[in-house]
Amino acid sequence: MTSRYFLLAALCIFAAACAKKNDPPPPAPPDNKETVKVQFRLTGDILSFDTDLPFGRQAGNSPDWYGRALRDSTIFAVMVQKADSASWLPPLYASGMFSRADAIVLDLPVNLKVNIIVRAFRKGSGGGIFYTWKNGLPYFDAPLKATLNNRMDTLQRAMTDTVSWVRVTDPADSTKSFGEKVHPEVDFFRGSTTFVVLPSPVSQTLSLKRMSFGVKLSSPNFTTGKLLLELQGSHPQSVTPADINTRYFVFGSDVFKFMQQFTGHVAIKWQKPDGAIVSLGEKDIVFKRNVLTKIEVKISEDGRVNLDPVITETDWSGTETVVF
C-alpha cells in the first residue's frame, strides 16, 4: 500500500513538472522606450544669442578660419542626469556639446525624472577653450570629454560638471594650451533644472548665471617693462604700459555655485626692461561674482610699492578698485 501511495505521489509531481514546463513564460516587464523632444530657451546672464557657427567645416572655409570662429563663439555643454537615482551623485544619462542655443533639443524618455545642467563658455579675455579634431569634428578633452556635434549622445557619459581644469588655448599658438587651472581664463555661465518628462512636447526656460570674475591692473606711474599678475589657481598674466588701460582678465570659477565671493591670493611683480623681476608684494583679495576688481599699483621712483591696496567693487558695468 505504501509503495502504491509513493508511486501516485511521484506521478503527481511528474505531471506538475511537465505542466509547468509547458506553461508559457511569464511576460517580460514593459520596456518603455517612448521619448519626447524637449527644447530649451536660455535666459539670465547669458543673454543667449545665435553664434552663427556652422555645424562643421564649410566648403571654402579653411580649418584656420573655422578654428578662429569656434574659439570666438559661445560653446554650450549639456548634461542629463537621472534625478530619481538614490545615489548622492545622479548618474549621467546623456551629454552633448552645442554651438547654437536654439540647437539644444533633447530627446528624453517619458516619465523619467531628469536634472538638466547647461553650461556656456565664452572666450572672454583668453584664447577660447582648447580642442582637437576627432573624426572631422572638434573634440574637447576633460572635463568635457565630448565632441561638438550639436546633439545629445547617450554614449558620451564622461562629462563632469565643472569649469575647473578646462584647458584654454594659448593665443600665441592655437595648437597649444595652458595647463589645467582651478580658475581658467574663460567667461563661464551655468544653470540647472529638475523635472519629470511629460508625454507631450514641452519647452523649458532655463536661466544661466554668470560664474566669472574680472581683474584689471592700474598703475599711474608705470611707464616701462611689464606688470606681472599671479592669481593663485590661474595662469600668470601681464600688461604693458601700452595696454594697461584697456586690458583686463576674466576667470570662470566653480566657487560661485555655492557663494557670491571668495578670497584669492594675488602677487604683483614688475619686470624691468632688462628682464630683472622685482616683487611688488602679495595680498589676499576678495573677488565677487560678476564683478571687475581693479588692482591699483603705485610704484615709486626708487621701485618701491604701496603694499596697502585699496579695492573698490561694482557690478560688471562698472569697476572695483584695489590699491595694491
Report the distance separating Cα 249 and Cα 107, nearest Å. Answer: 38
Q: What is the 3-state secondary structure (H, E, C) of 112-147?
A: CEEEEEEEEEECCCCCCECCEEECCEEEECCCCCEE
pLDDT above 60 for 160: yes
Contact 270, 223 (CB under 8 A): no
Q: Which residue type, as a one-letter code, is found at position 56? A: G
For the chain, percent of residues with pLDDT exceeding 90: 52
CA angle 110, 49, 288 (to 5 degrees): 95
Please write the tens of the pLDDT for every residue from 303-323: 555 544 545 454 554 455 555
Confidence of residue 8 (pLDDT cuts 50, 70, 90): very low
pLDDT above 90 for 181: yes
Q: Model pTM?
A: 0.79
Report the distance separating Cα 170 and Cα 152, nearest Å. Answer: 29
DSSP character string of 39-95: EEEEEETT--------SSPPTT--HHHHHHHHHTS-EEEEEEEETT-SSSSPPEEEE
Burial 3-39 (b: 16+ CB within 10 A, else e): eeeeeeeeeeeeeeeeeeeeeeeeeeeeeeeeebebe
CATH class held by domain 212-323: mainly beta
CATH 2.60.40 boundaries in the chain: 212-323
For the beta sheet containing 132-134, the strands, ordered from the edge strand earlier in sequence to the opposite edge, are 132-134, 137-140, 146-147
Q: Which residues contact 119 (CB under 8 A, 6 or more apart)?
A: 76, 77, 78, 161, 163, 188, 189, 190, 208
Please write the tens of the pLDDT for every residue from 29-43: 334 579 999 999 999
